[in-house]
Amino acid sequence: MTKPAISAGQGEMPAGAHDILINMTVPLMGGRWQRDRIVLGESLPPTMAAAIARSGKVAIALSPAASPAIALNGTGRIALAYDPAAPAAARPALIAASAQGGWPVAGDPQSLALLTLAERIAASDIPVLLEGPTGTGKEVLARFVHNLSGRADGAFVAVNCAAMPEAMLEALLFGHKKGAFTGAAEAGEGLFRAADGGTLLLDEIGELPLALQSKLLRALQEGEVLPLGATRPVKVDCRIIAATNRDLAAEAAAGRFREDLLYRLNVFPLRLPMLRERAADIAPLAFAMLLRHAPQTAPGAPGQPGWIADAALAMLEAHAWPGNVRELENVIRRALLLAGEAEVIGPEHIIFDTAVRPVADAAPALAPRGPAQCSLSDVAFASEARAILDTLSRHGGNRAATARTLGISERTLRYRLASMRGAGMLAAGGAA
């Protein structure tokens, strides 16, 4: 990945002062979409930081400190204090800071590869189909494609196709003439025309009724819409990005989704993995949520947490995240509330939406449950726990070798084994 050109704040940053942190982080901060957008400096003066922010860039003031802290000092203005002796601990925070302004947060190789591909797709005008479970960040990726496209100056319009009745959705999408139906006291242009020259995101496209699917297909093929009550179609020019958490090929096979519409939308599919499948995104996302929801103030100021402890991050990395990024946001908001005036979010402040269910080889814990009792997260966690125990067994209980084989850190493995022991699936003192 091309290293972004990061400015140095007009000489404010001493040469080499933060090279270790920058050199290990900048290659993870994206390609063209980050280039010239970030200004790093040593304790940037407020007036300079404000001027940088007004120009549309993000000003990140770096400073050495015994106690690390990150804070949002205003729109596009972030202060990051970190321990120069432990730069790796500050890398997730710097990744989060660089994504300010609604850009994706990515530290995992899978996510970085996906963004690189999306950047190339953005340069074209082809339809895009975003697939992935709920809460994985499909709308963020759709905005990313829009912002890097030639339509960036146009409108980005998003609609949830599952959020309203069919009749209302048709009028919302295609527009209507005055008096076209009861209550239509005024004409409505519709979202296709609102997105003219820009991008239209059709979220939850798999929920679109069949009758509307045929009208959507015509709009895509002909580049025109027919408002309700109108007799002449209206030309529109908008890029379509569709998003779904369903398997549209299976829906088409079952007759619930038009196959010809699927082929029209599926020009270039992008699949977003579940959060637990991209563990290196968890810490940067957690810091991004901290920046989003913590009060704006100076780093380390009393009355707000300014950092997330390593032990808390390990707990987050060990969780199965059935609710994906949305669940992570809930957990961080809850932790901010529980932390109160503490300077650091610790493990005691982390409470998950759904308790971690470490299910392993204990057959009684996994057996004979009826379909109504077995959730998807139960199944996923059971598979993960079995994989851990099987790998441990193959390596004769060697945790370092097990962690390497599984692609996780020893710290993450230790927390997962502790959770399994707490659930009675490991003998006290066993395996970990």
**Tens digit of pLDDT for each residue in 375-392?**
555 555 566 777 788 788
- Name every residue whose Cβ is closer than 8 Å to that of residue 109 and which is 6 or more positions away in sequence: 280
Average pLDDT over residues 81-108: 92
The CATH code that applies to domain 19-108+278-349 is: 1.10.8.60
Please tell me the total number of residues recorded for the chain in this structure: 432
Q: Is there a contact between 200 and 241 (Cβ–Cβ < 8 Å)?
A: yes
Tell me where in the chain the CATH 1.10.10 domain(s) lie. Answer: 363-422
What letter does residue 7 receive in the DSSP assignment?
Answer: B
Which carries the bigger pLDDT value, residue 399 or residue 335? 335
Tell me where in the chain the CATH 3.40.50.300 domain(s) lie. Answer: 109-274
Q: How confident is the model at residue 105 (pLDDT cuts 50, 70, 90)?
A: very high
The lowest-confidence range among 134-143, 312-321, 368-377, 401-410 is 368-377
pLDDT tens digit sequence for 217-235: 999 999 999 888 788 889 9
The total of other beta-carbon atoms located within 10 Å of residue 223's CB is 13
Q: Is there a contact between 155 and 126 (Cβ–Cβ < 8 Å)?
A: no
Cα separation of the two ends of the chain: 38
Query: Would you say residue 297 has pLDDT above 60?
Result: no
What's the pLDDT at 147? Answer: 93
What's the pLDDT at 361? Answer: 38
Pull the structure tokens for residue 412.
């993450």
SS3 per-residue string spanning 269-337: EEECCCHHHCHHHHHHHHHHHHHHHCCCCCCCCCCCCCEECHHHHHHHHHCCCCCHHHHHHHHHHHHHH
CATH architecture assignment, domain 109-274:
3-Layer(aba) Sandwich (3.40)
Quick one: which of 58, 64, 25, 15 has its CA closest to 40? 58
CATH architecture assignment, domain 363-422:
Orthogonal Bundle (1.10)
Tell me where in the chain the CATH 1.10.8.60 domain(s) lie. Answer: 19-108+278-349
* Range of 32-41, 98-107, 348-357, 393-402 with top mean pLDDT: 98-107
Helix (H) or strand (E) holding 203: strand 199-203
What's the pLDDT at 272? Answer: 95
The total of other beta-carbon atoms located within 10 Å of residue 408's CB is 17
Q: Is there a contact between 233 and 226 (Cβ–Cβ < 8 Å)?
A: yes
Report pTM: 0.76
What three-state secondary structure class fits 26? helix
